[in-house]
Amino acid sequence: MVKSLDGVLTKKANTRESFTEDQIADLKACANPDTGYLYFCNKFFNIQHPVEGKMLFKPFDYQERLLESYHNHRFNINMLPRQSGKTTTAAGYLLWFAMFHPDQTILIAAHKYTGAQEIMQRVRYGYELCPDFIRAGVTNYNKGSMEFENGSRIVSATTTGNTGRGMSISLLYCDEFAFVQPTIADEFWTSISPTLATGGRAIITSTPNSDEDTFATIWKQAEQKFDEHGNEQDVGVNGFHSFTCHWSEHPDRDEDWKAQELGRIGEEKFRREYECEFLIFDETLISSLFLAQMESKNPTMNMGQTRWYDKIYKNKTYVIGLDPSMGTGGDYAAIQIFTVPEYKQIGEWRHNTTSIPGQIRILKDICEYIAEKSGANNIYWSVENNSIGEAALIVINDYGEENIPGLFVSEPIRKGHVRKFRKGFNTTHGTKISACSKLKTMIENSKMQISSGALISELKGFVATGSSFKAKSGETDDLISALLLVIRIMNVLKDWDPRVYNTFKSMESEEDYEPPMPIFINTNY
């Protein structure tokens, strides 16, 4: 051992050593590319506990899952409660990565200088308390960086627009990224991304702040884990794997702890720092409280790209809505399938490269599948007939409406309507607002069951814009459009189905019902 410049004990580089059989076994276990990080953190990484002092790390269950997320995904974004041990967990992984992977450059970037130094201090502390046979020798060792005899190094820095520029980074760790000034965060991420393009890895960690900062943007894209067909993936559309945990997973936290913390910091700060809720500036159609409680189901069966969430029953009524698209890779076409009287989502389809004839064929296949299991007398289906919908109507006519099981439902002709009547449903500003209002009421009064994770994801980004609602920039609302069509079909059905009538009538007469928005009808739409 030798002393570093600031007096701490380090291991001299390039020193011949002899090892016992047990030490060799430990070294092999730490060097295991699949599980070495867990072995190292559990057996050799020491931390300084605020009460207990020096102690072996021994990660909690959620910290082990966090370590697994670091290791098994190239790009990670983690939203974690305050004081959950995220910095300690990261320090253990970064130290292991540097010592057991040669020629790696690890950059620690924090929004403040003190934050970067704190992380580096935990790495240094863990290194200094490792047994000598585990530690890699160091060639340079100071407060801001460590260089090892295997050619790897760990560098810490404050997050600025130029941090990491020109470096060939193997692993980037960003701490409390949500609290970096927005312009600096944008600049930093723009400049650092190319350095990761040749195989580099990234770990971004923070508690939430604003819902409009760079961290929030990356997180939301990571949470969009559905491919163009609506099938769930392990990573988001940006390639990031998202990880979070609840404060209650920490073994020292319970409801009594929560009550004390609420009294100390208040509800708003608690929800942000411990419940990991973004400060929402956009007004979503569905209350954020209900959105947070909505849970998706895994499909019970896939039929092509159609996901089914329940089997078909003979005593149910089925409502099917198709929102068509050009099928050229732009907007998505979507189909929603619901039952009456439960108003339960049992199926869904979405695609953006299926031609209009293909979309009608899939609609026909769905109707035929339901008819085979339940009969055709309880199937009601329709399409939106706006613009692209005209082509869908032509294809339906070519197929022969009578050759698609069930009843093709159309919106009744209104008095004073000067346009020629067409099959299907025409969407205007007024009809969209009305359907949105009914959707909000049905969900928030627990009268509709949503199963699809992709649909729930769209609802979280379906926000007020002017006097209407639409998807946030960069997000989609095609599944919602198909759902709104289903609601409008149900509204027509209420005139001859008492089960539907009773539900829709009760929505209109609830004593505590408050309109979700001003109903502003633009007659010039």
Q: Tell me if 68 is assigned to some domain.
A: yes
Owner of token pair 């299907």: 424
On the question of pLDDT at 288 being above 80, the answer is: no
**Which amino acid is located at 377 in the chain?**
N
Q: What's the whole-number mean pLDDT along residues 231-254?
A: 89
- Residue pair 75/201 in contact (Cβ under 8 Å)? The answer is yes
326 and 210 in a single domain? The answer is no
- Residue pair 136/149 in contact (Cβ under 8 Å)? The answer is yes
Domain boundary residue among 245, 260, 284? 245
Q: Tell me if 56 is assigned to some domain.
A: yes
Sheet containing 201-206: order of strands: 138-141, 145-148, 153-158, 105-110, 171-175, 201-206, 75-79, 241-244
CA separation for the pair 480, 449 (Å, rounded): 14
Domain boundary residue among 198, 230, 245? 245
pLDDT in tens, 202-216: 999 998 887 768 888
What percentage of the chain exceeds 70 in pLDDT? 90
72 and 162 in a single domain? The answer is yes
233 and 307 in a single domain? The answer is no
84 and 179 in a single domain? The answer is yes
380 and 238 in a single domain? The answer is no
Q: What's the whole-number mean pLDDT along residues 249-266?
A: 91
- Residue pair 482/362 in contact (Cβ under 8 Å)? The answer is no
Q: What's the whole-number mean pLDDT along residues 33-59?
A: 91
Weakest-pLDDT range from 350-359, 373-382, 413-422, 500-509? 413-422
On the question of pLDDT at 357 being above 90, the answer is: yes
Coil, strand or helix at 262:
helix
467 and 393 in a single domain? The answer is yes
Q: Give, in order, the Cα–Cα distances in Å from 348 to each of 214, 434, 435, 451.
A: 32, 23, 19, 9
Q: What is the pLDDT, as a whole number, of residue 370? A: 96
* DSSP assignment letter at 475: -
288 versus 39: the higher-pLDDT residue is 39
pLDDT in tens, 457-481: 899 889 888 888 998 877 889 999 9
Q: What is the CATH number of the domain that holds 330?
A: 3.30.420.240
Q: Give, in order, the Cα–Cα distances in Å from 202 to each of 107, 264, 314, 350.
A: 10, 35, 52, 31
**What is the count of structural domains for the chain?**
2
Q: Tell me if 286 is assigned to some domain.
A: no
- Residue pair 178/272 in contact (Cβ under 8 Å)? The answer is no
241 and 386 in a single domain? The answer is no
228 and 159 in a single domain? The answer is yes
On the question of pLDDT at 249 being above 90, the answer is: yes
pTM above 0.85, yes or no: no
Q: What is the pLDDT, as a whole number, of residue 508? A: 58
- Residue pair 254/248 in contact (Cβ under 8 Å)? The answer is yes
**10 Å Cβ neighbour count for 42?**
15
End-to-end CA distance of the chain: 80
Q: What is the pLDDT, as a whole number, of residue 376? A: 83
105 and 31 in a single domain? The answer is yes
Q: What is the pLDDT, as a whole number, of residue 6? A: 43
Q: What is the pLDDT, as a whole number, of residue 221? A: 87
205 versus 523: the higher-pLDDT residue is 205
Q: What's the whole-number mean pLDDT along residues 419-439?
A: 86
Quickly state the pLDDT bin for 178 (edges 50, 70, 90). confident
226 and 307 in a single domain? The answer is no
Instruction: Please calculate the CA angle 171-173-179 and round it to the nearest 5 degrees.
Output: 155
pLDDT in tens, 126-139: 999 999 999 999 99
435 and 328 in a single domain? The answer is yes
Weakest-pLDDT range from 147-156, 223-232, 312-321? 223-232
Largest CA distance in the chain: 95
Tell me which range, 416-430, 486-500, 510-524, is most confidently predicted by mean pLDDT: 486-500
417 versus 491: the higher-pLDDT residue is 491
235 and 318 in a single domain? The answer is no
- The residues, any chain, with a CB within 8 Å of residue 465's CB and separated by 6 or more, are none
Q: Tell me if 395 is assigned to some domain.
A: yes
Q: What is the pLDDT, as a whole number, of residue 519? A: 32
Q: Tell me if 55 is assigned to some domain.
A: yes
Instruction: Please calculate the CA angle 248-254-259 and round it to the nearest 5 degrees.
Output: 115
Q: What is the CATH number of the domain that holds 199?
A: 3.40.50.300
Q: Give, in order, the Cα–Cα distances in Å from 218 to each of 66, 179, 205, 463.
A: 18, 14, 11, 19
Q: Which pair of structure tokens corresponds to residue 201? A: 């890895």
Of 465, 458, 462, residue with least CA distance to 224: 458
- Dihedral pair phi/psi, residue 272, rounded to 5°: -75, -45
Q: Give, in order, the Cα–Cα distances in Å from 490 to each of 309, 351, 370, 381.
A: 20, 24, 18, 10
On the question of pLDDT at 257 being above 80, the answer is: yes
CA separation for the pair 86, 346 (Å, rounded): 39
- Residue pair 437/520 in contact (Cβ under 8 Å)? The answer is no
Residue 474 zone, left/alpha/beta (φ > 0; ψ -120 to 50; rest): left
Q: What is the pLDDT, as a whole number, of residue 507? A: 62
What percentage of the chain exceeds 90 in pLDDT? 52
Q: Which residues lie across from 381 on neighbouring strands?
A: 320, 408
Q: What's the whole-number mean pLDDT along residues 106-134?
A: 91
Q: What is the pLDDT, as a whole number, of residue 517? A: 41
Owner of token pair 């085979």: 372
Computed over every residue of the chain, the mean pLDDT equals 86
CA separation for the pair 416, 407 (Å, rounded): 26
Residue ranges making up the domain that contains 107: 2-245
Owner of token pair 């979507």: 334
Q: Tell me if 263 is assigned to some domain.
A: no
Helix (H) / strand (E) element for 163: namely none
- Residue pair 11/1 in contact (Cβ under 8 Å)? The answer is yes
* DSSP assignment letter at 284: B
Domain boundary residue among 245, 269, 292? 245
- Residue pair 478/384 in contact (Cβ under 8 Å)? The answer is no
CA separation for the pair 10, 141 (Å, rounded): 8
Q: Tell me if 269 is assigned to some domain.
A: no
CA atoms within 13 A on the CB side of 481: 25
Q: What is the pLDDT, as a whole number, of residue 419? A: 52
Q: Tell me if 171 is assigned to some domain.
A: yes
